[in-house]
């Protein structure tokens, strides 16, 4: 949970600095979105590689290396002097981002019993909401006073977490007792080929929707009303985001409980259908609410956070339950992170649409991908209370 919290903080520092970086490097919305897309593309590579590596050297060791990667690369972002250098450092952050989830989610899934696995995964994923709040608070305090370079230097802090992991975190018994890793390409052969195709498609759909909305959310809140934004200042933008993340934190925890109680599939469908309805409503608020837009955005923010992110707890639990131990890391790492790589077009696509029609309308177009996810989840078997395959 702590690792994922700091992971989120490092990745989302860019989101809060995006308007400042646009001015610094003379970027359009589309180009600024492309830099964020580079993070997602390389997170796919990092996630796939870390999943394979965790099957071979262990979940804990892989977790340590991925945290070191994203923390040092986030600090390196502070040295960027061109768009090319900015994209280089954000790409390295992506390698650590994807890899940290692959190793950490597999580790948690293998330690917890079936009846509580969803709740454990919800608690782990809730670290993302806390990291989002930390990024918002850091941006509000540091960005106006010391600039974006000082903001990214904060990103080196997660490196110190690795000392705690090295000392106190143990490898799961399931991995220790396994016969060793199988060929990772087994995830593309029967009986796992169909599972890999469907889970990757599901991850692609909802990750496209998530990154399309949440990469640009701070930009939407701070952009001028004439550009389709809400026209809030940086302090209010950060405050609105923090309130939203309270809803996000609760969404993760409640989803974990629902997934263990009702089943993985119905819990997921409830969340993404609600997100599909709420997203276009939220994006249209500046057009119809007038002077009270800020109040409406503040009130609806927790609902967007609750339903727009809490469903991600599904992937750590369900993917672990669909693959056996020798290829669990490879299966989880590929399905989730290859989907993340395909979703990398989302920030660029939303930015390109925003250049033409405004950010509010661009955010609403992600609803279709939430609805696709609601359909795809029912193509997978229900795994509630399933014991992990050895």
pLDDT computed for residue 374 by the predictor? 96
Q: Give the pLDDT score at 359.
A: 60
Comparing CA positions, the residue from 158, 113, 151 lying closest to residue 1 is 158
* Euclidean distance between CA atoms 348 and 314, whole angstroms: 26
Plot region of 263 (φ>0 → left; ψ -120 to 50 → alpha; else → beta):
left
Nearest to 47 by CA among 340, 388, 373, 345: 340
139 and 151 in contact (C-beta within 8 Å)? yes
Structure confidence at residue 358 (pLDDT): 65
Distances (CA, A) of 385 to 33, 45, 102, 178, 286: 40, 31, 22, 21, 44
Rg (CA), the chain: 20
Q: What is the dihedral sign for C-alpha 137, 140, 142, 143?
A: positive
* Three-class DSSP category at 192: coil
pTM here is 0.84
Q: Which residue has the tokens 């110190």?
A: 160
Could you tell me the CATH superfamily of domain 2-157+181-379?
MFS general substrate transporter like domains (1.20.1250.20)
The answer to whether residues 252 and 122 touch, using CB atoms and an 8 Å cutoff, is yes
Q: How far apart are CA 300 and CA 376, in angstroms?
A: 27
Q: Where are the domains of the chain?
A: 2-157+181-379
Q: Which residues of the chain have pLDDT under 70?
A: 179, 227-228, 234, 357-364
Task: Specify the pLDDT at position 361.
Answer: 67
The structure tokens 């890793």 sit at: 181
Nearest to 44 by CA among 182, 185, 204: 204
pLDDT value for 187 = 94
- Predicted local distance difference test score (pLDDT) of residue 273: 96
pLDDT of residue 97: 84
Identify whether the C-beta of residue 99 lies closer than 8 Å to the C-beta of residue 87: no
Task: Please measure the distance between the N-terminal and C-terminal CA atoms of the chain and give it in whole angstroms.
Answer: 25
Please tell me the predicted confidence (pLDDT) of residue 34.
76
pLDDT of residue 360: 59
């Amino acid at each position: 949970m702590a690792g994922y919290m700091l992971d989120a903080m490092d990745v989302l520092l860019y989101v809060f600095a995006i308007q400042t970086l646009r001015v610094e490097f003379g970027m359009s919305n589309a180009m600024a979105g492309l830099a964020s897309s580079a993070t997602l593309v390389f997170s796919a590579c990092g996630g796939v590689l870390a999943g394979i590596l965790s099957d071979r050297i262990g979940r804990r060791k892989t977790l340590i290396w991925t945290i070191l990667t994203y923390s040092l690369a986030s600090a390196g972002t502070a040295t960027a002097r061109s768009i090319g250098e900015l994209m280089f450092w954000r790409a390295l952050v992506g390698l650590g981002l994807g890899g940290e989830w692959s190793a950490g989610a597999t580790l948690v899934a293998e330690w917890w019993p079936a009846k509580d696995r969803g709740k454990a995964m919800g608690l782990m994923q809730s670290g993302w909401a806390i990291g989002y709040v930390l990024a918002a608070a850091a941006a509000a305090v540091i960005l106006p006073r010391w600039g974006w370079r000082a903001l990214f230097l904060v990103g080196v802090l997660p490196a110190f977490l690795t000392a705690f992991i090295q000392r106190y975190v143990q490898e799961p018994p399931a991995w220790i007792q396994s016969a060793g890793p199988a060929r990772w390409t087994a995830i593309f052969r029967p009986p796992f080929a169909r599972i890999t195709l469907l889970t990757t498609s599901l991850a692609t759909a909802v990750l496209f929707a998530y990154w399309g909305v949440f990469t640009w959310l701070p930009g939407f809140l701070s952009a001028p009303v004439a550009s389709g934004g809400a026209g809030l200042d940086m302090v209010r933008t950060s405050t609105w985001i923090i309130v939203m993340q309270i809803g996000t934190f609760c969404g993760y925890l409640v989803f974990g409980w629902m997934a263990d109680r009702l089943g993985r599939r119905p819990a997921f469908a409830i969340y993404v259908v609600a997100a599909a309805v709420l997203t276009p409503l939220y994006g249209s608020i500046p057009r119809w609410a007038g002077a009270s837009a800020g109040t409406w955005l503040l009130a609806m923010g927790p609902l967007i956070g609750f339903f727009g992110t809490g469903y991600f707890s599904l992937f750590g639990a369900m993917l672990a339950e669909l693959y056996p131990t020798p290829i669990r890391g490879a299966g989880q790492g590929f399905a989730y992170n290859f989907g993340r790589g395909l979703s990398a077009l989302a920030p660029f696509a939303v930015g390109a649409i925003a250049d033409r029609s405004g950010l509010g309308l661009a955010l609403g177009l992600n609803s279709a991908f939430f609805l696709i996810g609601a359909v795809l989840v029912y193509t997978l078997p229900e795994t509630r209370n399933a014991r992990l395959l050895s």
